[in-house]
Amino acid sequence: MTGRMKRFAATCLGLGLALMLQPAVAETVLRVKLDGELKEIDPIWTSNYTVRDHAYMVYDTLFAMDDKYNVQPQMVDRHAVSEDGKTYTLTLRDGLKWHDGTPVTARDCIASLKRWGKRDGLGQQMMARLERFEQVDDKTFRIVMKENWSLVLPALGKISSTVPFMMPERLANTDAFDQVKEPIGSGPFKMKIDEWVPGSKIVYVKNQEYVPRKEPPSNAAGGKVAKVERIEWLVMPDPVTAVNALANGEIDYLATVPPDLTGLVAKNKNVKLQVVNLLGKQVQVVPNHLNPPFDNVKVRQALQLALKQEDYMQAMFGKQTEFYQVCAAVFFCGTKFATDIGSERVLKQDFAAAKALLKEAGYDGTPIVLLHATDLPEQNLWGQVGAESLRKAGFVVNDVTSDWATVASRRASKKPIAEGGWHLFHTGWAGPDMLDPAVNVLVSGGCVEKAWFGWPCDAELERLRAAFASTSDPAEQKKIADLVQARAHEIVTFVPMGQFRQLTGYRANISGVLTAPVPFMWNIAKN
């Protein structure tokens, strides 16, 4: 080595050491992998859960649901309801600011609610009964309803999609079917749109000007205190990669650890596993009431008898029975409306009885078009399990496999099979969206015009749901909810295929992870 080279080498070494010894950057960065991939940024424009998770960082809500599923004020400081129950007066908290620095005003909130009311199911119901919005001053506004509708606050405090998130008026005036161009909210984190690499990385920084509530956090309610300076949400399409990244500390938080892979990180001392989403999700099979043979209630009942929840759950969880439960409650097990009324066929697999019903209904062996998405691992499992059970029960199955995009488009078709229609598809709804007859679209009987995909048409169901919305007596509501479930299972608007929870994994130096049905990022600290 010549002298010069030696000097050069020494310099390099020195530089390297200096770099290594440099204290870690003061800013705490939380690296997370949430479910799905953020493709859009407007939580009103799409009902996608991934966008909802993103939106909870950026936006704030007027009201929010606490641990007990009760609605609490969030951006709202005080609220009052008039004697006749028709007028709600809401006053905003002090010090609320949009990410662009302008103050949050009542005008902004009214505009946001109007836009949300064009897209959300419950929002549409609310707007139909709305007399007018009234701006009182910069921080106060009134919601005047035409009738005493008990769901105003539950709608405003809706925890899951589509959540009435608040945006500045200039953005909220965007057509409800166009996306807002900027992610400007008033939530505890700001999205750095210039650092967004779609399909790869989404970056948020702490909103230094956010004024959290004083109450401790409880679900979506209470104080939303950002305890990290920066959040990097990494997109990893491959679940194994994500689990390995968590094990190696390349990410700090993994919203869902696939059940079969929990073993990989269970023994890792640096990783904690916890059921964060206590409510969980449910798998559903949805029949199309428009297309024969599923226009016949007997055939739909045969469908209930053909399928078995344990099959679906075992396919996902194997022997880890602690993560799932067999449950026929349409409003979710473990909630106030949970019941097993009318669930005889739902919980019992009986091929002989199914075949008998099919025969009685005169099923002629028409191939059943099952929409089956193969690019989403869970959907792919459900499709395979479902097709197999249906065959055993005497159905002829046309297992139509495609990507999710095709399934999503085709299920919107009301046409006969020959013209691109369908018979069955699988879906998975999360607990908060199924809690009662008002939010749960799967128990709608609103026919072709108003019902969800599958278009069940049932006057009785619609009558019951209207009755539910017009009462605020808990006992009465419970009674109606029971009737709705009995009716839904009788005419088979859908078949519940099991309820499950999944584990969330995070590094041992992470604290303050909230148990909630949505992966909230506030309150999480990193040491």
Partner 1 sequence: MLWFLVRRIVAAVPILIFVAVFIFMLLHLAPGDPAAVAAGPNASPQQVELLRQRMQLDMPLPDQFMRWVANLARFDLGVSIFSNQPVSRLIGQRLEPTLLLAVTAMLVAVAIAVPAGTLAAWKADSLLDRVVMMFAVAGFSTPVFVTAYGLIYVFSIELGWFPVQGYTPLAQGILDCLQGLVLPSLALGFVFAALIARVVRATMLEILAEDYIRTARAKGLATPTIVIVHALKNAGVPTMTVIGIGFAILVGGVVVTETIFNIPGLGRLTTDAILRRDYPVVQGVILAFSAMLIVVNILVDLSYALFDPRVRNA
Partner 2 sequence: MTALALPGRHLPRLPGAVIAAGVVLAVYALIGVLAPAFVGDIRALNLPERLLSPDAAHWFGTDQLGRDVFGRTLYGTRNSLIVGFAVAIATTLIGVTLGIVTCFSAWTDRIAMRLMDGLMAIPGVLLAIAMVAIFGSSLQNVVIAITVPEIPRMVRLVRSVTLTVREQPFIAAAISIGTPLPRILWRHVLPNVIGAVMVQATYTCASAIISEAVLSFLGAGTPPEIPSWGNMMADGRQLFQVAPWIIAFPGIFLAVLVLAVNLAGDGLRQAIDPKLSRRVGK
Q: How far is CA 62 from the centre of its chain?
A: 19
Instruction: Please say which residue, 119 or 300, places its beta carbon nearer to partner 1.
Output: 119
Instruction: State yes or no: residue 320 binds partner 2 (CB under 8 A).
Output: no
Both tokens of 112, joined, read: 């946001």
Instruction: Please say which residue, 227 or 392, places its beta carbon nearer to partner 2.
Output: 392
Instruction: Please say which residue, 76 or 257, places its beta carbon nearer to partner 1.
Output: 257
Letter for the amino acid at 125? Q
| Residue 380 binds: one of partner 2, partner 1, none (C-beta under 5 to 8 A by kind) | partner 2
Instruction: State yes or no: residue 452 binds partner 1 (CB under 8 A).
Output: yes
Run of H or E residues at 274:
strand 271-274
Give buried/exposed letters for 147-178 (b at 16+ CB in 10 A, else e). Answer: eebebbbbbbbbbbbbbbbbbbbebbebebee
Instruction: State yes or no: residue 462 binds partner 1 (CB under 8 A).
Output: no
CB 250 within 8 A of CB 271: no
Instruction: Please say which residue, 179 or 511, places its beta carbon nearer to partner 1.
Output: 179
CB 230 within 8 A of CB 224: no
In whole angstroms, the minimum distance from the beta carbon of 150 to partner 1 comes to: 22
Letter for the amino acid at 173? N
Rg (CA), the chain: 25
Instruction: State yes or no: residue 36 binds partner 2 (CB under 8 A).
Output: no
| Residue 245 binds: one of partner 2, partner 1, none (C-beta under 5 to 8 A by kind) | partner 1
In whole angstroms, the minimum distance from the beta carbon of 178 to partner 1 comes to: 6
Both tokens of 496, joined, read: 């519940």
Instruction: State yes or no: residue 233 binds partner 1 (CB under 8 A).
Output: no
Instruction: State yes or no: residue 405 binds partner 2 (CB under 8 A).
Output: yes
Determine the interface stretch with partner 1 among 193-201, 355-363, 385-393, 486-494 (rule: CB under 8 A). 193-201
| Residue 458 binds: one of partner 2, partner 1, none (C-beta under 5 to 8 A by kind) | none
Instruction: State yes or no: residue 237 binds partner 1 (CB under 8 A).
Output: yes
Instruction: Please say which residue, 41 or 166, places its beta carbon nearer to partner 1.
Output: 41
- Those residues with Cβ within 8 angstroms of residue 438's Cβ, 6 or more apart along the chain or in another chain: 122, 125, 151, 154, 465, 468, 469
Distance CA 358, CA 306 (A): 11
**For partner 1, which residue of 7, 39, 78, 415 counts as binding (CB under 8 A)?**
39
Question: Binders of partner 1: how many residues, by CB under 8 A?
Answer: 57
Q: What are phi and psi for residue 341, nearest 5 degrees?
A: -60, 135
Distance CA 433, CA 463 (A): 20
Determine the interface stretch with partner 1 among 46-54, 209-217, 295-303, 478-486 (rule: CB under 8 A). 46-54
Letter for the amino acid at 10? A
Distance CA 246, CA 506 (A): 7
Burial tier of 317 (Cβ tally within 10 Å: 0-12, 13-18, 19+): buried
Instruction: State yes or no: residue 201 binds partner 1 (CB under 8 A).
Output: yes
Q: What are phi and psi for residue 404, nearest 5 degrees?
A: -60, -35
Distance CA 435, CA 265 (A): 33
**For partner 2, which residue of 9, 13, 197, 240 counts as binding (CB under 8 A)?**
240
Q: Among residues 116, 142, 123, which one has the least CA distance to residue 43?
A: 116
- Interaction with partner 1 in 349-388: which residues (CB under 8 A)? 375
Distance CA 224, CA 191 (A): 16
**For partner 2, which residue of 163, 257, 261, 442 counts as binding (CB under 8 A)?**
261
In whole angstroms, the minimum distance from the beta carbon of 402 to partner 1 comes to: 7
**For partner 1, which residue of 301, 427, 493, 523 counts as binding (CB under 8 A)?**
427
Q: Among residues 341, 345, 331, 342, which one has the least CA distance to residue 299?
A: 345
| Residue 399 binds: one of partner 2, partner 1, none (C-beta under 5 to 8 A by kind) | partner 2
Instruction: Please say which residue, 201 or 227, places its beta carbon nearer to partner 1.
Output: 201
In whole angstroms, the minimum distance from the beta carbon of 339 to partner 1 comes to: 24
In whole angstroms, the minimum distance from the beta carbon of 25 to partner 2 comes to: 33
Distance CA 438, CA 121 (A): 9
Instruction: Please say which residue, 399 or 490, places its beta carbon nearer to partner 1.
Output: 399
Q: What is the DSSP letter of 518?
A: S
Distance CA 235, CA 36 (A): 8
Q: Which residues bind partner 1 (CB under 8 A)?
A: 37, 39-41, 45-49, 51, 119, 121, 161, 175, 177-179, 181, 196-201, 234-238, 241, 244-245, 248, 250, 375, 402-412, 414, 420, 427-429, 433, 441, 450, 452-453, 455
**Binding region for partner 2 (CB under 8 A):** 238-240, 244, 258, 260-261, 263-264, 310-311, 314-315, 318, 372, 374-375, 377, 380-381, 383-385, 387-388, 391, 399-403, 405-406
